[in-house]
A = this chain, B = another copy of it.
Amino acid sequence: MDPKKFRKAAHRLVDWMADYLEDPTGYPVLPDVQPGEIRERIADDPPERPEEMEAIVSDFFDQILPGLTHWNHPGFFAYFPANHSPPSVLAEMLTAAIGAQCMSWETSPAATELEQKMMQWLAELLELPGDFTGVIQDTASSSTLVSLLTAREKATKGEVGRSGMREGGDDWVIYASEQAHSSVDKAVKLAGFGLNNLRNIAVDDRFAMRPEALRSAIEADIDAGRTPLAVIATVGTTSSTAVDPLEQIGDIADAYDCWLHVDAAYAGSAAILPEKRWILDGIDRADTFVFNPHKWLMTNFDCSAYFVRDVDALVGSFRASPEYLKTVHDDEVVNFRDWGIPLGRRFRALKLWFVLRSYGADGLRTILRRHIELAEQFRQQVQDHPDFEVMAPSPFGLVCFRYLPRSGDPEALNKQLLAQLRQRDELHLTHTRLGEDFCLRMSIGQWHTRQQHVESAWETIQQIAAEL
């Protein structure tokens, strides 16, 4: 492609992007496609000769767009939000055009230094302890793995890294609530601890970890000759946004000399609100903390903010300094390649800078408060309806609920309800299970979502339920 043709094509795309960002409601949230349908539209073989960009863009609109799920549709109430926003998209455009590889300070000094500053800004917005240092990871899943690997190396003073788990390994146990995210299971497996050595600690009736159950589990393991290594606390669980009590968990972790990682992937953003800052009370006892601006802070995926207290333990576990990566300033600068798993790194701080300045702290607080208020209104309406039940507290933007008429099998009914909701173009919800109960998750947090979208969703839900 002749670089000169880029300008014309890019302007054309920008007009579509602007329309899409202004109003994506022309598209169904969930596409109406069957498995394999998109694949069949794409040629089996790469073309031998160059094709015109007009044809490629036109195929994008005809073949790909109808197969996309629109995460930024105001009726997207599934999972947790994965927001972007106009300022974030602008920054991503620049990041793509620059195409810098930000593995070391020297490979793009401004990328490293802006990342340091943006992590400082986030720490300030969330009122994190002053001795936390931040770095951008791709996801909270990776961050949790990085945290457990660091705990492993710190506990053995690097002996596992040098000699392997067999020689250096102790009979370690990891603790998390039974409501913790599946990435905890995955990290425990990958880090070599073994899933059988993860204790799924019981939760209270609000689905938060019961500190006394944690203490009992730790003591039972010690009695059995095992070594408690790490506790993972969750602030805002995925199923129901339960908040594990950090202060009490922190005290226990301290008492038994356990590493403490706090996974606040979704809910951490809410700590920018003074009225929600309580969710991080006790964070001063944590060794590591992660939350995802790419979920609820209007910043394109991927942008996971990972904070650590002991930078030396992190870098000591992940550093690799071959000759070909050495630079003249290595002793004076931070090389973020040594702060996580991948060597290569995109320039991800730029979108945070654009978002945090464009909205301002105040603007972001306004958006989050709107989502929380909409969730509160929705919860109230569900609660007031005789045939619906709210299944868990809803301190943020998520309401777990189910249809519970006087008769009928609740699980079958709610599965039918969900299946019929899937047929609707204007909204998308997903489900979970709380205890034994199958329930629907109404997750309100997309930046376009306003009162009318939530109200219309509630109308649709009631209407379908009534006809089941």
Contact = CB atoms under 8 A, between A and B. Distances in A.
Interface string A219-255: 0000000000000000000110000000000000000
Closest 9 CB pairs of A and B: A164-B194, A67-B110, A92-B96, A84-B99, A192-B192, A7-B18, A182-B320, A6-B86, A165-B165
B47 A357 contact: yes
Interface in A317-348: 317-318, 320-326, 328-329, 332-333, 341-344, 346
Interface string A162-201: 1111111101100000000111011001111111110000
Interface string A341-376: 111101000100110111111110000000000000
Interface stretch (A116-124, A307-315, A403-411, A459-467): A116-124
A421 interface: no
A254 to B, nearest CB: 25
A294 interface: yes
Interface in A74-126: 78-79, 82-90, 92-101, 105-111, 113-114, 116-117, 120-121, 124-125
B109 A69 contact: yes
Interface string A1-31: 1111111011101111110111000000011
Contacts of A71: 98-101, 107-108
Contacts of A82: 99-101, 344
Interface stretch (A209-217, A379-387, A427-435): A427-435
Contacts of A128: none
11 contacts: A14-B14, A36-B113, A44-B117, A45-B124, A48-B362, A49-B360, A55-B357, A65-B110, A164-B197, A165-B193, A302-B346
A387 B68 CA distance: 59
A301 B162 contact: no
Interface stretch (A137-145, A280-288, A389-397, A450-458): A137-145
Given A97-B17, A113-B38, A194-B161, A323 B53 contact: no
Interface residues of A, number: 163
Contact of A166 (B63, B169, B321): B169
B44 A120 contact: yes
Given A109-B67, A114-B38, A166 B165 contact: yes
A38 B349 CA distance: 13
Contacts of A361: 46-48
A139 B334 CA distance: 20
B431 A182 contact: no
A124 B44 CA distance: 10
A322 B238 contact: yes
Contacts of A18: 3-4, 6-7, 10
A268 to B, nearest CB: 15
Among the interface residues A10, A86, A97, A354, which one has the most CB atoms of the partner chain B within 10 A? A97
Contacts of A344: 82, 138-139, 141, 294, 301-302
Contacts of A341: 141-142, 145, 186, 190, 341
A97 B333 contact: no
B346 A90 contact: no
Contact of A320 (B86, B186, B326): B186
A183 to B, nearest CB: 6
A441 interface: yes
A67 B70 CA distance: 36
A164 to B, nearest CB: 3
A78 to B, nearest CB: 8
Given A1-B359, A47-B360, A328-B422, 15 more contacts: A1-B86, A3-B22, A6-B22, A6-B86, A10-B89, A14-B93, A20-B98, A47-B361, A53-B90, A68-B100, A96-B300, A163-B196, A165-B165, A166-B194, A190-B317
A192 B69 contact: no
A110 B363 contact: no
A60 interface: yes
Interface string A290-306: 00001000001110000
A419 B423 CA distance: 64
A258 to B, nearest CB: 17
Contacts of A130: none
Contacts of A301: 99, 101, 344, 346
A15 to B, nearest CB: 7
